Structure 1
Amino acid sequence: MSDALAIAAVTETLRAVLAEAVQHAVPGAKVTVRHPGDADAAVTGPALNVFLYRTDIDAAWRNTDPPGTHPGETRRPALALALHYLFSAYAPPDDDSAVAERLVGAAMSALHDRPELPAGDLRAAAKFSDLHLQEEPVKLTPSALTADSMCRLWTSLGSGYRLSVAYEARVVLIDSSAPCRTPLPVLRRGEAGSGPVAAPTAAAPWPVLDAVQPAVAEPGSDILLSGSGLTVGAASVRLTHLVLGGPPVVLPARAAGADAVSATLGENLGAGCWSAVVVLTAADGGERTTRPRTLRVAPRVTSPLPLTAVLDPKGAAVLEVRCASAVHPGQRVELLVGSRPVPAQPFARATRTLRFRLAAGVPGRYPLRLRVDGVDSPLTGGDAERFDADTAVVIT
């Protein structure tokens, strides 16, 4: 997700992407961002002008919950935008060497080879915005404007027609700043505290991983992976972080019955969502791998609890929270103070110390959860059906 500066971030990234292409095609050419009427007078040499002439609401995303929203939480949908750009070529009046055609061709070729704006380009060209953290890619596609539509557009711009091509950038998701609620979790469902369980009635010819328990694990704890055919060969568990990627983490597994294996998570395993598979190695060295299941690893708060915070004269407070495993740039981090989510302040490198600015705070004692990539730190202590009184923040 991103902030209100995301529109400008797309424009600046397009300028940077196209600048390299047009300079290669026409040495000395520039990429400008002006109104076409102003560009006529301001541009003297060969140039490609990038102009945002229309924004639309993306209907498919309009009523979709933002990524990371848990069941029962109320978050305003993101402002989903499709941006419509006009790329116009400018050449000196006395130049008859088809400079305009070369500029437009270079721009279309560059966007044909790069139909998305990668996070690295967004971060490099628009450091003022956090659009690069948006999970949904910003895709670029040509827009087919009829001759009548193009004529109407240039007439409304009050400028003479220039060789142009239209493109659409979709989708840009701008976070809502409206307050939202994150209710406390349910501690037990039903008499035994478990919902319905489905299991296969016949053994599968290939190893099958049905479930990973617990649903949310803590670093250093044991996990149970159940299914069928999981003990035919030497078993190991392979974990891959769904956000950070990187080399997989391989854990030795031990049998835990006819259809299950268990493994122990490392103490420094990062928080967030992991993809877990069971790898079975036969005596001849051949491997069989199950389909992945999601393993959610909870962050662990290591700051002395309860936290204390003092409101400043403006009613705001800065909370500093330390966690056991490092949190990396690109992960979505929030501190849930009662039912109120507070986003983490930006950080440029992996860190175990996070800062959160709570605005318009109200004195009181509130349950405290650290959320990393949608996974919350535990609120319960030894008694799974009661909230830990010390896992809280006291605001004065």
Structure 2
Amino acid sequence: MSDALALAAVTETLRAVLGEAVRRTVPGVKMTARHPYDAGGADTADDAGPALNVFLYRTDVDSAWRNTDPVGTHPGETRRPALALALHYLLSASVSPGDDSALPERLIGAAMSALHDRPELRADDLRAAADFSDLHLQQEPVKLTPSALTADEMCRLWTSLGGGYRLSVAYEARVVLIDSSAPGRAPLPVLRRGEGGAGPAAAPTAAAPWPVLEAVHPSVAAPGSDVVLSGSGLDSGAVSVRLTHTVLGGPPVVLPARADTARAVRATLGEDLGAGRWSVVVVLADADGGERTTRTRTLCVAPRVTSPLPLTVARDPEGAAVLEVRCAPAVHPGQRVELLVGGRPVAADPFTRATGTLRFRLAAGGPGRYPLRLRVDGVDSPLTDGDTGRFDADTAVVIT
């Protein structure tokens, strides 16, 4: 998750990270991000002194990410893939006339040592140095690796830059994912799959010697509801359920549970359980204090729109509509939040702390009544009436 300012964010963060490290070796060094012909080429008092320049000289499209579905895309949905870029940087050292001739080597050595010890740009570095971009929310890290340029390639590079050679080293920053601004399509969900909506059923013919967790029902649950975890060998000890959030991390959530049978365990989700995807295991404690755990399965906890429904919003003179939506439980920074208006996904405005109030800006679109879903980390709020199993007509937004 990042925007078109991601390139500038990588440059600013790289300059900040290198500046902090290099100044410990060469106090007073300046960090610049200019064309190498201009960096260190002036003889004014302001530009005097040692400097390390960071210059983005080439960008490539990452072919491995080019056709990868965007994060949070469900089967049957269509969205433009993110623009995946590899950025190529040239780090060059410049000194004033009369400075120690070994000073460039000290600058480049300090820079390479810093990137060797810190080979990726962390989210807190990106947030601190480039708060104008949301690149820090990108789940894939931006990794820095040296680029091995031959003497001929380095000669051609400096010749094309129009200046005399200075001691330099090349690095690659990969991958930077820029989200597409083209609207996607998110069709309404299928209400029933198979007779009675139960879908296909499968069961092992013999009990496994180790507890096995096969399925979680329902696979998408609301906070405060019961879930049934089915498998085999689930009654051979004191049973509990352990949940871990796959995005937010943090300590596991342990829920008391009861074994209905050897093949089913029931647990009640907490009311404040965060929305998104959780990894769930069944834990069986032995009498001597040992425990056995099943393999993990995924449990999706659905957000809930708590604003009065249906929502009504008017378009501004430019045809855009700004929607304010309240939800429970609160969402946290780092979670991917979208509002599905009909079949169109709209990203939430950036937020920096846990919040239960979200804002969405829907670009120009026609008036009408559209089904409404809130999606947090790929998990949608319910769109159907729990009693009838049909679409709830009130779960909608009316755009005038």
Q: TM-score range by the shorter chain?
A: over 0.9
Letter in 2 for 1:307: L
- Report the CA distance between 1:383 and its aligned residue: 4.1
Q: Map of 1:93-104 to 2, 5 A cutoff?
A: 93-104=97-108
Distance 2:388 2:334 in 1: 32
Q: Runs of 5+ in structure 1 lacking a partner?
A: none
| TM-score normalised by the chain length of structure 1 | 0.98
Give the equivalent residue in structure 1 for 2:241: 237
Q: How does 1:47-126 map to 2 (within 5 A)?
A: 47-126=51-130
Return the alpha-carbon distance in structure 2 between the equivalents of residues 258 and 12 of structure 1.
58
Q: Are 2:3 and 1:3 equivalent residues in the alignment?
A: yes
Q: Please, which of 159, 169, 173 is the counterpart of residue 165 of structure 1?
A: 169
Name the SS of the counterpart of 1:84 in structure 2. strand
Provide the residue aligned with 1:344 in structure 2.
348
SS in 2 for 1:54: strand
Alpha-carbon deviation of 1:92? Answer: 2.2
Tell me the amino acid that sits aligned with residue 32 of structure 1. T
Matched, 1:310 2:314: yes
Q: 1:9 aligns to what SS in structure 2?
A: helix
- Displacement of 1:40 after TM fit? 3.0
Percent of residue pairs identical: 82
The structural deviation recorded for 1:34 is 0.6
Per-residue CA distance 1:113-136 (angstroms, 9 max, x = gap):
111111110111100000001111
Task: Provide the C-alpha distance between the structure 2 equivalents of 1:198 and 1:20, rounded to a whole number of angstroms.
Answer: 58
2:257 corresponding residue in structure 1: 253
For each residue in 1:68-121, what CA deviation from the matched residue of structure 2 results, as whole angstroms up to 9, or x when unmatched? 100000000100000000000112221235111111111111111111111110
1:29 maps to amino acid:
V
Shift of 1:232: 1.0
> What does residue range 1-396 of structure 1 map to in structure 2 within 5 Å?
1-42=1-42, 43-383=47-387, 385-396=389-400
Secondary structure in structure 2 of the residue aligned to 1:59: coil
Cα distance in 1, alignment partners of residues 230 and 378 from structure 2: 24
Q: CA deviation at 1:240?
A: 1.1
Aligned-residue offset at 1:199 = 3.0
Alpha-carbon RMSD: 1.2
CA displacement 1:23-58 (0-9 Å, x = unmatched): 011111121101000013244211110000000000
Do 1:187 and 1:384's aligned partners in 2 also have CA atoms closer than 8 Å?
no
Shift of 1:334: 0.7
Q: How much has 1:10 moved relative to structure 2?
A: 0.4
Q: What SS class does the counterpart of residue 211 from structure 1 fall into?
A: strand
Per mean C-alpha deviation after superposition, the further-off stretch among 71-80 and 321-330 is 321-330
Deviation at residue 139 of structure 1 after TM alignment:
0.6
* TM norm structure 2: 0.97
**Distance in 2 (alpha carbons) for counterparts of 1:24 and 1:200:** 63
Say which SS state the counterpart of residue 37 (structure 2) adopts.
helix
